[in-house]
Structure 1
Amino acid sequence: MMTKFHQSQLSLSDALVEEDPEQSSLRAHAVRIDVSQNEREAPEHRHRKGQLVMASRGGVTCRVPTGIWMVPPQCGVWVPGGMPHSNVATANARLFFLFVEPDAADLPDRCCTLSLSPLVRELIIEMATQSEVASAYGETMTTLLLSGLSRMPVEDLHLPLTAEARLNRIASALVKDPSDRSTMAQWAQRVAMSENTLARLVQQETGLTFGRWRQQLQLIIAIRSLAAGATVQQVSGDLGYESVSAFITMFKKALGTSPARYLRKFERWT
C-alpha cells in the first residue's frame, strides 16, 4: 500500500480547491503552494480538519472571526477545524498548508501562531513534496510530525477582532490604509460615538487600549511586509511614520528588538 502526498503550484484560491483536504483520509496531509507574482487571497472558507499555514518565502496573514493572525518566518498559524478563515499571501510567496484530522494530535482549540522547530518545518516540507512513499515511512513521518507539532510554543502576534460592527469597521479601514494616522477622537467621530466610549469599547472587546490595538495591526503589517522583502524605509513610509527612526523605536518598544534582529532570529529557509 502506498501513501500519497501532494504538491501544487497553482494560484492560492485554485490550489486550495484543487487540493481538497477532505478527500484525504490521512491523519496529516500537506500541500505546497507557490503564489504568482501578484498578491493572492483565498476568500473565507472552512475545513473539517485543522489547518497549519506556514510560509518559507514571503508573507501571509490569516483572518478569523476573532482576529487577524500573522505568519512570521519560521512560524505557522494554527486554525482549528470548522473555523471560518481567509488567507492573504504576498507576491511570490511559498506556502505550506498542513491539514490535520480532528483529535489526531493535542493541538490548541483556538487560532494561534506556533513557533516551529527546524525538524517540524522540514517534516512538513518533506510531506508536501513527496509524491508517493511507502505507507510505513509516511506513518512514521506523520507520527513524528504530530508529536513535535503539539509541543511547539505559541508566539503572541495577532490583532484581536470582535463581532462589534464599529470596531470591525475601524479595523477594516486600517487594514486598507495602515498609513492613516487619525486620532482616536477622529475615529470616534467617524463611527458616531464619543472618544471615551470608543476607548472603553476597545478595552472591553479586545483587552487592549486603542493605541496598543492599532499598534498591533501595524506590527502585523510590518512583519508581513519585511518578510516579503520590503525595506525598513518602505515599511515605515507605508505605515505613515514621519521617520524611519520613529518606526524602529515603536518596533523595539513593542517587540524588544529592531526589525532586522527580529527577522534574523527566524533565519530564512527555502
Structure 2
Amino acid sequence: MPRATEISDLVDPDDVPQPAVAVGLTVPTGTMDVGVHAHRKSELFLMVRGEMTCEASNALWVVPPQAALWIPGGTRHALKGRAPLEGCVVFVEPEVAAALPSECCAMAVSPLLRELLLRASELPVSYARDGAEARLVSVLLDELGAARASELRFAMPGDVRLRRLVAMMTGNPADRATRKEWARRVGVGERTLNRLVVQETGMSFGRWRQQLQVVLAVQWLERGASVQSVAMDLGYESASSFVTMFRKCLGMSPARYVAARGNVSGNVSGNVSGNVSG
C-alpha cells in the first residue's frame, strides 16, 4: 500500500474482474493514513514487517508482523501505519468469500497460505483466468477458507471522551492510574466513566482496559519482545502477574500463544504503487 497521498493514482480493486487479486504492500518511508472507506470486495491484509492499525466495526485491531486481518466486503474501515511497512493484501470477490467471517477478525496464517499470498502478489493484476496463475489463486482461496479466525480485538468506542482515553492509554500503556484518575483526566465522574464504557463496549472499565493490554501484548510479543519487557511496558510489577492475566484472557501462556501463531518471516516482493489501492 502506498502513502495516502498516492492512493488516488491507483486502480480501484473493485474494478478488477478477477475472483481474487493480490498486491504487495511497501511503505519505505513516512506514514500510511487511509481514511474511512470501503470496498465491494473483501480483503485480507498480511503484515510481514512493521505494524498497522485498523478501525472497523466499532473495534480497533493492531496488526503486527506475522499477523493478518480479514475485512469483509462493504465494511467501512480506516488504516494507519508507520514506515517501514511490508506485507500484502488480497482482494476477494464476495461470492468467493461467502463462507468466510462476515465481520472483521484477525486470521491465523499458515506457512503455506503466507507463501501463496506473497507469490500471488507477484502476479499481474489481469492474470489469465486459466492456467498456472489461476490454479495458484484457486489454492490460495482454498487455504484462506481453511484459515482460523481469532477473537482478539479491542472494542473501540464512539464517544469522543472515551476515544481520547484510548489515545492516552495507548500512548502510555504502563500508566496504572485508577479508574477515578482516568475519569478525571477526561472530565467525567468515575461512575459516568464506567457507565459510558459499558454502554459503548458491553464490558466494565477494568475488563475493557485489560482487553487493550492483551492486544498490545500480542503485538509486542510477535515483534520478538520478551515476556519480562512486555510486563514492564504494561506496568506490571512482575512477569508472573502479567502471565497470569494473559493466560486468564487467552487460555494459554504468552510463549505458547506466540508459538501457536507460527514463525512468519521473509521479504515481500513487489510494490503496490501503480496497481491496486487499499
Measured against the shorter chain, the TM-score band is: 0.7 to 0.9
> Which of residues 199, 204, 217 is equivalent to 1:204?
199
TM-score normalised to the size of structure 2?
Answer: 0.79
> Which of residues 224, 228, 237 is equivalent to 2:219?
224
Partners of 2:62 and 2:176 in 1: CA distance: 22
Instruction: Map residues 156-195 of structure 1 onto 2, 5 A cutoff.
Output: 156-195=151-190
Partners of 1:249 and 1:114 in 2: CA distance: 25
TM-score normalised to the size of structure 1?
Answer: 0.81
Alignment RMSD (CA, Å)? 2.8
Please name the residue that 1:115 is paired with: 108
Change in CA separation of 1:196 and 1:160 when aligned onto 2, cut-off 3 Å: same
User: Which consecutive residues of structure 1, in runs of 5 or more, have no partner in the other structure?
Assistant: 1-9
Moved more, 174-183 or 71-80: 71-80
Change in CA separation of 1:71 and 1:198 when aligned onto 2, cut-off 3 Å: same
Partners of 2:3 and 2:252 in 1: CA distance: 33
Partners of 2:105 and 2:259 in 1: CA distance: 22
1:247 and 2:247 equivalent?
Answer: no
8 Å Cα contact 2:66-2:222 kept in structure 1: no
Give the share of equivalent positions with the same residue, in percent.
38
Query: How far apart are 1:50 and its partner, in Å?
Result: 1.9
Q: Which has the higher contact order (CA 8 A, sep 6+)?
A: 2
Q: How many residues align?
A: 260
Cα deviation 1:22-53 (Å, max 9, x = unaligned)? 45322211122244377x43332424222211
Partners of 2:151 and 2:7 in 1: CA distance: 27
1:46 and 2:37 equivalent?
Answer: yes
8 Å Cα contact 2:108-2:261 kept in structure 1: no
Partners of 2:193 and 2:80 in 1: CA distance: 29
User: Which consecutive residues of structure 2, in runs of 5 or more, have no partner in the other structure?
Assistant: 267-278
Q: Secondary structure at the match of 2:261?
A: coil
Please name the residue that 1:130 is paired with: 123
Q: Secondary structure at the match of 2:25?
A: strand
Instruction: Map residues 44-123 of structure 1 onto 2, 5 A cutoff.
Output: 44-48=35-39, 49-64=41-56, 66-71=58-63, 75-89=67-81, 92-106=84-98, 107-123=100-116
> Which of residues 239, 259, 262 is equivalent to 1:267?
262
Please name the residue that 2:271 is paired with: none
